[in-house]
Amino acid sequence: MNFVETEIKDLYIIEPKIWKDGRGYFFESYNKQSFDDAGIHVNFVQDNQSLSQKGTLRGLHAQANPFAQGKLVRVIQGRVLDIAVDIRKGSETYGQYESVELSGENNRMLWIPPGFLHGFLTLENDTIFAYKVSGLYNKSSEFGVIWNDPELSIDWGIASDQIILSDKDQTLPLFKDLDSSF
Protein backbone atom coordinates (compact mmCIF):
# COMPACT_ATOMS: atom_id res chain seq x y z
CA MET A 1 0.00 0.00 0.00
CA ASN A 2 1.12 3.48 -0.83
CA PHE A 3 0.05 6.17 1.67
CA VAL A 4 -0.08 9.54 -0.12
CA GLU A 5 -0.06 12.61 2.10
CA THR A 6 -2.62 15.28 1.26
CA GLU A 7 -2.46 19.02 1.89
CA ILE A 8 -4.29 18.33 5.16
CA LYS A 9 -2.26 16.73 7.95
CA ASP A 10 -3.27 13.16 8.90
CA LEU A 11 -5.56 12.73 5.86
CA TYR A 12 -4.19 10.12 3.43
CA ILE A 13 -5.06 8.82 -0.01
CA ILE A 14 -4.22 5.13 -0.05
CA GLU A 15 -3.27 3.36 -3.24
CA PRO A 16 -3.29 -0.41 -2.86
CA LYS A 17 -0.92 -2.66 -4.76
CA ILE A 18 -3.06 -4.50 -7.30
CA TRP A 19 -2.21 -7.87 -8.80
CA LYS A 20 -3.94 -8.46 -12.15
CA ASP A 21 -4.03 -11.46 -14.42
CA GLY A 22 -6.41 -13.18 -16.81
CA ARG A 23 -8.76 -14.08 -13.95
CA GLY A 24 -9.18 -10.52 -12.73
CA TYR A 25 -7.43 -8.76 -9.87
CA PHE A 26 -6.57 -8.99 -6.18
CA PHE A 27 -5.63 -6.34 -3.63
CA GLU A 28 -5.60 -5.83 0.12
CA SER A 29 -8.18 -3.21 1.05
CA TYR A 30 -6.85 -3.10 4.60
CA ASN A 31 -3.72 -4.36 6.30
CA LYS A 32 -3.18 -3.48 9.97
CA GLN A 33 0.60 -3.75 9.72
CA SER A 34 0.71 -1.38 6.73
CA PHE A 35 -1.41 1.14 8.61
CA ASP A 36 0.74 0.82 11.74
CA ASP A 37 3.89 1.30 9.62
CA ALA A 38 2.34 4.48 8.19
CA GLY A 39 1.69 5.76 11.74
CA ILE A 40 -2.06 5.19 11.58
CA HIS A 41 -3.01 3.22 14.68
CA VAL A 42 -6.68 2.44 14.39
CA ASN A 43 -9.05 -0.25 15.57
CA PHE A 44 -11.95 -0.69 13.17
CA VAL A 45 -15.21 -1.81 14.81
CA GLN A 46 -17.81 -1.61 12.05
CA ASP A 47 -18.07 -1.88 8.26
CA ASN A 48 -20.74 0.00 6.30
CA GLN A 49 -21.90 -0.10 2.69
CA SER A 50 -24.33 1.94 0.62
CA LEU A 51 -25.79 1.76 -2.89
CA SER A 52 -26.65 5.07 -4.52
CA GLN A 53 -27.78 6.43 -7.86
CA LYS A 54 -25.95 9.15 -9.80
CA GLY A 55 -26.27 12.57 -8.15
CA THR A 56 -26.83 11.27 -4.62
CA LEU A 57 -25.01 13.41 -2.07
CA ARG A 58 -24.53 12.01 1.42
CA GLY A 59 -23.06 14.41 3.97
CA LEU A 60 -21.43 16.35 5.38
CA HIS A 61 -21.46 14.23 8.57
CA ALA A 62 -19.43 13.47 11.70
CA GLN A 63 -19.90 12.20 15.25
CA ALA A 64 -18.93 14.20 18.34
CA ASN A 65 -16.52 13.01 20.98
CA PRO A 66 -16.41 10.57 22.67
CA PHE A 67 -18.08 8.77 19.72
CA ALA A 68 -15.93 10.28 16.95
CA GLN A 69 -15.14 8.00 14.04
CA GLY A 70 -12.14 7.56 11.81
CA LYS A 71 -13.15 6.24 8.39
CA LEU A 72 -11.41 4.24 5.70
CA VAL A 73 -13.57 4.84 2.62
CA ARG A 74 -13.55 3.25 -0.83
CA VAL A 75 -15.76 2.51 -3.82
CA ILE A 76 -16.44 -1.06 -4.88
CA GLN A 77 -18.45 -0.18 -8.00
CA GLY A 78 -19.00 3.16 -9.71
CA ARG A 79 -17.43 6.52 -8.85
CA VAL A 80 -17.73 9.19 -6.16
CA LEU A 81 -16.35 12.60 -5.40
CA ASP A 82 -15.32 12.18 -1.77
CA ILE A 83 -14.94 15.20 0.52
CA ALA A 84 -13.27 15.49 3.94
CA VAL A 85 -13.41 18.82 5.84
CA ASP A 86 -10.98 19.50 8.69
CA ILE A 87 -12.92 20.56 11.83
CA ARG A 88 -10.07 20.13 14.33
CA LYS A 89 -9.86 23.34 16.35
CA GLY A 90 -6.33 24.66 16.32
CA SER A 91 -5.47 22.85 13.08
CA GLU A 92 -3.65 24.96 10.48
CA THR A 93 -6.15 23.62 7.92
CA TYR A 94 -9.34 24.11 9.97
CA GLY A 95 -12.25 24.62 7.57
CA GLN A 96 -10.30 23.38 4.54
CA TYR A 97 -11.37 20.36 2.53
CA GLU A 98 -9.81 17.66 0.39
CA SER A 99 -11.62 16.38 -2.67
CA VAL A 100 -10.73 12.95 -4.08
CA GLU A 101 -12.32 10.85 -6.82
CA LEU A 102 -12.66 7.25 -5.69
CA SER A 103 -13.83 4.55 -8.05
CA GLY A 104 -14.16 0.83 -8.57
CA GLU A 105 -11.55 1.23 -11.29
CA ASN A 106 -8.85 3.22 -9.48
CA ASN A 107 -9.37 1.34 -6.16
CA ARG A 108 -8.04 4.32 -4.23
CA MET A 109 -9.09 4.74 -0.63
CA LEU A 110 -9.16 7.70 1.72
CA TRP A 111 -8.24 7.58 5.41
CA ILE A 112 -10.27 10.21 7.27
CA PRO A 113 -9.28 10.46 10.94
CA PRO A 114 -11.62 11.70 13.68
CA GLY A 115 -12.06 15.46 13.51
CA PHE A 116 -13.35 15.68 9.95
CA LEU A 117 -16.73 16.14 8.32
CA HIS A 118 -17.25 13.60 5.54
CA GLY A 119 -19.49 13.47 2.51
CA PHE A 120 -19.60 12.08 -0.99
CA LEU A 121 -21.39 12.61 -4.29
CA THR A 122 -22.06 9.63 -6.55
CA LEU A 123 -20.96 10.18 -10.15
CA GLU A 124 -22.50 7.01 -11.61
CA ASN A 125 -25.64 4.96 -11.12
CA ASP A 126 -25.46 1.90 -8.87
CA THR A 127 -22.38 3.12 -7.03
CA ILE A 128 -21.41 0.91 -4.11
CA PHE A 129 -19.56 2.80 -1.38
CA ALA A 130 -17.92 0.93 1.50
CA TYR A 131 -16.18 2.12 4.64
CA LYS A 132 -14.67 0.90 7.86
CA VAL A 133 -15.14 3.01 10.99
CA SER A 134 -13.22 3.21 14.24
CA GLY A 135 -16.30 3.95 16.37
CA LEU A 136 -19.80 2.54 16.48
CA TYR A 137 -22.68 4.63 15.18
CA ASN A 138 -24.21 6.80 17.90
CA LYS A 139 -27.29 8.71 16.76
CA SER A 140 -27.20 11.24 19.61
CA SER A 141 -23.63 12.32 18.77
CA GLU A 142 -24.24 12.72 15.03
CA PHE A 143 -23.96 16.21 13.53
CA GLY A 144 -23.26 17.80 10.19
CA VAL A 145 -22.97 20.86 7.98
CA ILE A 146 -25.03 21.66 4.89
CA TRP A 147 -23.42 20.44 1.66
CA ASN A 148 -23.51 23.84 -0.08
CA ASP A 149 -22.19 25.94 2.79
CA PRO A 150 -20.96 29.28 1.37
CA GLU A 151 -17.98 29.50 3.74
CA LEU A 152 -16.65 26.07 2.72
CA SER A 153 -17.32 26.71 -1.01
CA ILE A 154 -16.98 23.04 -1.93
CA ASP A 155 -16.88 22.47 -5.68
CA TRP A 156 -19.08 19.41 -6.10
CA GLY A 157 -18.87 19.71 -9.90
CA ILE A 158 -22.63 19.36 -10.42
CA ALA A 159 -25.63 21.69 -10.64
CA SER A 160 -27.62 21.85 -7.40
CA ASP A 161 -30.83 20.82 -9.18
CA GLN A 162 -29.19 17.51 -10.12
CA ILE A 163 -28.34 16.57 -6.52
CA ILE A 164 -30.40 14.01 -4.60
CA LEU A 165 -30.44 14.66 -0.83
CA SER A 166 -32.08 13.04 2.17
CA ASP A 167 -34.50 15.18 4.18
CA LYS A 168 -31.93 15.25 7.00
CA ASP A 169 -29.11 16.48 4.75
CA GLN A 170 -31.27 19.30 3.36
CA THR A 171 -31.62 20.89 6.79
CA LEU A 172 -28.10 20.68 8.24
CA PRO A 173 -26.70 23.90 9.76
CA LEU A 174 -24.03 26.20 8.35
CA PHE A 175 -20.31 25.77 9.06
CA LYS A 176 -20.18 29.09 10.96
CA ASP A 177 -22.65 27.59 13.48
CA LEU A 178 -20.55 24.47 14.04
CA ASP A 179 -19.39 23.94 17.62
CA SER A 180 -16.60 21.43 17.02
CA SER A 181 -15.40 19.38 19.97
CA PHE A 182 -12.18 18.37 18.20
Indicate which residues carry an active-site annotation.
Answer: 61, 131
> Are the C-beta atoms of residues 126 and 53 closer than 8 Å to each other?
yes
